[in-house]
Amino acid sequence: MEIPTKKKSYSQKYRKEWEDNPNFKGWLAPVQGTDLKGMCRWCQAEFFAKISDIKKHSESKKHKSKAEIITKQKPFPPFPVDKIKPSSRAEAAMALFIAEHCSVVTVEHLGEMCKKLFSDSKYGHDIHIHRTKCSEIINEVLGPHFKESLRLDICDQKFSLILDESTDISVMKCLGIAIRYFSNSQNKVLSTFLALTPVTKADAKGLAEAIINTLNDNNLKLKNLVGIGTDNASVMTGVNNGLHQILKREHGLPNLVLVRCVCHSLQLAVSHASEKTLPRNIEYIIRETYNWFSLSPKRQDEYRQIYETINCGSQPLKILKMCTTRWLSIFPAVSRILQQWDELKLHFSLCKVKENCYTAELLHAMFEDGSNLLYMTYIQSILGEVQTALKVFESENADPTKLLEALTFLLRSICNRVIYSHADINVLTTTVQENHLNPYATLGYAFEMNARKLNLSEDVTNIVKHRCVAK
């Protein structure tokens, strides 16, 4: 007896034109994340993207009962704008303020305060807004309004995106997307927030899919994307399988421009230059000095008493933490320690005896070493110039055309300190050779003054200068 072969099941992809079918219109929709399934908006049920399965669901008892209820409902007539109560306008304004500046919880007190302060006003007395109502106004009224306004302002223009990944407190990966375009309403180039999109896969293809879904949700055309701005992470800028290459190769954007974050590039350059030239104990001093005081109110109080005694009652400023992933954050931390160098040295000299602590003993030895003071002085002066250059194009009214000018001035200023004056070279077009560097260069007023004040031997000072010049 011949056994009948089992009929193979086929895979059908979801087709957008099915939604225009009169029998499916209004309730059929695709399932996000897969093109092999569809869903019913009324029943919240999923099924395979096959005509037979869709028809089977439309004939089910559950769907028919839902359809009967929904089709009998009369649509609400458009609410006339001129009949919106002033109290509702006030509640919307309060919700907008809350969304921009603070937590939704604060609206509980803000609403009651307004009712008491403006009790003589009939409109103020009618304000009734709490957390639930405020959240609904933000999500269902203000959000869609500003989203639609942004879409109409962009219209069919070219635009670029600024991208960065982030992980929230719930350990969920999100992709922050800001959009940059020319606003016809304001007649200038604007950069504004577009979306914070959850990402299931944090690889390049997952990020590309998140970008495309976000653009589709906002009715923006992918073909109008002309550039992306990112940090220097390999998942974003990889030459083979980075996000930029995937958008160019797989999504029909061969002319897509990649703009790397200048601040991040400067951070990597400074970190790489300092990795093998400056001593590691500089970062140790900054990190352990912060850790020494961070979790001990007793140590903070003891140091405050020492500082007030030396400085006639003045309060000490808090020791700052250095971010381990951003080398440029060392600048404010170095500046704060240099301002209190003598006070900190005295504090650790007392602590090493009083607490018999090896960390205090080690930190005191480092503060006693004058070469560390010279290294930190030089770092402060160099990074001070870097911070000044960054402020040129980080300000709100910054002119992007001034970026090259600011970076050129920064490079020339640093090179003038360490290159022989008789070396007639252009640092922008010529590679600086070893014979161009002056190992005994003058490294700034603060450096030279501290070197004289510490009475260090000439050999020690020259070693410090040589390592700083090598940086």
Task: Dump pLDDT digits (tens) for 262-282.
Answer: 777 777 777 776 666 667 778
* Strand-pair partners of 188: 183
CB atoms within 10 A of CB 25: 10
Question: Which helix (DSSP H) or strand (DSSP E) does residue 198 occupy?
Answer: strand 188-198
Neighbours of 415 (CB within 10 A): 16
- The reported pLDDT for the residue numbered 399 is 64
- For residue 195, the surrounding DSSP H or E stretch is strand 188-198
Half-sphere exposure of 329 (CA within 13 A, CB side): 10
The answer to whether 198 touches 178, Cβ cutoff 8 Å, is no
CB 48 within 8 A of CB 36: yes
Q: pLDDT value at position 79?
A: 46
- Spatial contact of 124 and 147, defined as CB atoms under 8 Å apart: no
Alpha helices in 314-457, H assignment, sequence order: 330-339, 341-354, 358-368, 370-394, 403-418, 445-454
pLDDT in the model for residue 325 = 59
Q: CB pairs under 8 A, 24+ apart, for 67-70?
A: 67/27, 67/42, 70/42
CATH dotted code for 156-260: 3.30.420.40
Cα distances from 230 to residues 79, 115, 235, 286, 393, in angstroms, run 44, 47, 10, 30, 16
Whether the CB-CB separation of 159 and 227 falls below 8 Å is answered with no
**Count of residues for the chain?**
471
pLDDT at 300: 92
391-399: which pairs have CB atoms within 8 A and are 24 or more residues apart? 393/262, 394/263
Q: Dihedrals φ, ψ of 242, to 5°?
A: -75, 165
pTM over 0.85: no
What pLDDT is recorded for position 201?
A: 81
Distance of CA 54 to the CA centre of its chain: 44
Consecutive 10-residue runs of the chain (471 residues): their mean pLDDT?
Answer: 56 83 85 82 85 88 83 56 71 89 88 80 77 90 89 89 80 87 88 88 87 89 91 85 90 89 73 67 86 90 92 89 69 87 90 84 88 81 72 59 70 72 66 66 73 74 71 59
What's the confidence (pLDDT) of residue 23?
84
Res 277: pLDDT: 61
Determine if residue 456 is left, alpha or beta; phi over 0 gives left, psi from -120 to 50 gives alpha, anything else beta.
beta
User: Would you state the torsion angle of the CA atoms of residues 70, 71, 72, 74, taken in this order, to the nearest 10 degrees?
Assistant: 90
Distances (CA, A) of 408 to 2, 404, 429, 441, 464: 84, 6, 11, 21, 26
CA 113 to chain centre: 35
Element (H, E) at 37: strand 37-40
Q: What DSSP assignment string belongs to 64-111?
A: HHHHHHHHHSPPPPPPPGGG--HHHHHHHHHHHHHHHHS-GGGHHHHH
